[in-house]
Amino acid sequence: MTTFGGLSTPEAAFAAAILVAYLSLFPALFAWIQSRLFRSLGAAAALIAPLVWVATEMGRTYLWDGFPWELLGYSQVTVLPIAQLASIVGVYGLSGFVALVSAAAAYAAIEPKPRRWVIGAMTAGLVLGCAAWGAARVSAHALTSAGTPVRVAVLQGNVPQDQKDEAYRGNPVLMDAIAQRYVDMTRDAIGRGAQFILWPESSTPYYYEQDLVRGDAVRRLAREAHVTILLGSDQVEPVRPIAAGKPPEARYYNAAFLVRPDGSTGAIYRKIHLVPFGEYVPLKRLLFFVGPLVEAVSDFSAGRDPVLLPVAGHMASTAICYEVIYSSLIRSFVVRGSELLTTITNDAWYGWSSAAYQHWDQASMRAIEQGRYLARAANTGISGFVDPYGRVLQKSSMFESAVLVGDLHFITARTIYSRIGDLVGWISVVVTAAALLTTRRPQVQ
């Protein structure tokens, strides 16, 4: 917000503090509910804690536009035997599983009766059983040995954010240099046998649909090599004026364009979940002091349709930037028929902070949940490929130019989670509400 948004440090700190304060409401709600349940149920309230925690994570996801960044279950994404549980219950169920271990320990600490050891033993057995099942699932290779192969490339252009911004402001030298960089990287990928090539989010420093010269260079390249290209570019949609005499307005979308091997546009996906304070400013009238940020941030409109991408006779899907953390959105793609997951992003905003690494891990969880290969193209990293079990096949380093090419598969088999969705999360909400109702004191007549 200071480097790219034009706010002073105190203003940026205050704006960030508002988001922190909002997100703090959910663990605070968990603590309040648990306190109330403990007064009513005693030590047994600890056994309900995992469901209460998941219910608050559901609140963090679905209230307002949601901000489900770094849910508890993501802590297990690199612990592959345990992470396989996400293929059944999703990241919310995995959050509940992690919370269960802590809840069992808390129960053993406050419950004086011998049954505390029974609960502890049952929890330990459950953890060991899940780990054994998960390890067996990974070693079986059932998903990676099935499906139709496709050779995919992800491009990491490593274009500094200030250069991207300068190019968007109309600097023709930078615009041509960035456009040529991606064309050259695409040729490199083609030379290595890639059939499906992913450019990062907002990779074109021009409007792909409107720039006939630079856009045609991409279409011509697709025709010459007979490859499919997915590129990130802003889209402008004219809007008719509401009243006569008023100038026409326009809506802007953060979009992904699929270029077919014949050079035509096969599909356009518009980003559905926009980044607060990055692509729009929530409560702009209330947060009047962030005026410079409002001016600096492109006021994008949100897309509505989870569009699929036709690739080599199969269907793929893409998520743009942080919307890959919405498990229900990725599931909606698979329900519609997506056989391959992709995500394109520009994480240059994050610098060397932990956010870029967290973003990669959260994207990897989607591969486990849906039982699909995942390809990720990021402007400055991390780019790479993840298999349906969450194993990293290739992975770039941060802030380097890279062209990664890998053999992935289109997969049609469905995981349990892809069929039931966030059922565990919604059950947690219902159980939490029911438990709270039991704590209501009857009115005295």
Per residue in 380-437, pLDDT (tens digit) is 999 999 999 999 999 999 999 999 999 999 999 999 999 999 999 999 999 999 999 9
Regarding pTM above 0.75, the answer is yes
pLDDT at 65: 75
* pLDDT, position 162: 82
pLDDT score at 9? 86
| Gap between the Cα atoms of 97 and 261, Å rounded | 45
Report the distance separating Cα 74 and Cα 98, nearest Å.
10
Domains of the chain: 9-143+422-438 (no CATH), 149-412 (3.60.110.10)
Predicted pLDDT of residue 283: 65
Strands 314-320 and 309-311: antiparallel
State the pLDDT at residue 286. Answer: 63
Nearest to 144 by CA among 403, 418, 393: 393
Which pLDDT value is given to residue 101? 96
Using 70 as the pLDDT threshold, list the residues of the chain that sit under it: 5, 240-248, 277-278, 280-298, 441-445
Model pLDDT, residue 227: 98
Pairing relation of β-strands 265-270 and 314-320? unpaired
Q: What is the pLDDT of residue 444?
A: 46
What is the set of active-site residues? 201, 271, 321
